[in-house]
């Protein structure tokens, strides 16, 4: 896999960056600011790692978990009624989860083809 070219990682990173920055222009309540900034930046970091070193399954799965947590954040962070913050989390979390899930299969194939197998 080539570095810095996977569109899925670029989209996930942009979704994370948008989420973190959206705290500036959306109404924040409950734990929305902390959750949106932290989860958004974790998506950015995961995307950068995946772009720099593609094919790392652990990072792909961690990014998927963060994306799902971002989608669920308005409910467990008590900001589902803050329309702008909630919709930002729901949309960005869903987009990041979908593109990361799409990226897992090629990463799995690359990992399988490049991992040496032990023989007896």
Long-range Cβ contact pairs of 71-80 (< 8 A, separation 24 or more)? 71/97, 73/31, 73/32, 73/35, 73/36, 73/39, 74/32, 77/30, 77/31, 77/32, 77/34, 77/35, 78/29, 78/30, 78/31, 79/28, 79/29, 79/30, 79/31, 79/32, 79/35
Dump the DSSP string for 10-56.
HHHHHHHHHHHHHTTTS---TTHHHHHHHHHHHHHHHHHHHHHSTT-
Q: Which two tokens stand for residue 63?
A: 């990014």
Per-residue pLDDT reduced to its tens digit, 1-51: 789 999 999 999 999 999 999 999 999 999 999 999 999 999 999 999 999
**At 117, is the pLDDT very low, low, confident or very high (cuts 50, 70, 90)?**
low
Per-residue pLDDT reduced to its tens digit, 27-40: 999 999 999 999 99
pTM for this predicted structure: 0.89
Return d(Cα 14, Cα 43) in angstroms, integer: 9
């Amino acid at each position: 896999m080539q570095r810095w070219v996977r569109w899925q990682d670029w989209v996930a990173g942009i979704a994370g960056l948008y989420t973190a920055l959206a705290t500036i222009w959306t109404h924040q309540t409950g734990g929305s600011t902390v959750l949106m900034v932290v989860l958004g930046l974790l998506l950015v970091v995961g995307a950068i790692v995946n772009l720099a070193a593609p094919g790392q399954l652990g990072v792909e799965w961690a990014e998927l978990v963060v994306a799902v947590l971002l989608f669920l954040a308005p409910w467990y962070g008590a900001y589902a009624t803050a329309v702008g913050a909630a919709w930002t989390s729901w949309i960005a979390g869903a987009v990041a989860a979908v593109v990361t899930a799409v990226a897992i299969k090629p990463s799995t194939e690359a990992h399988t083809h490049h991992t040496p197998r032990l023989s007896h």
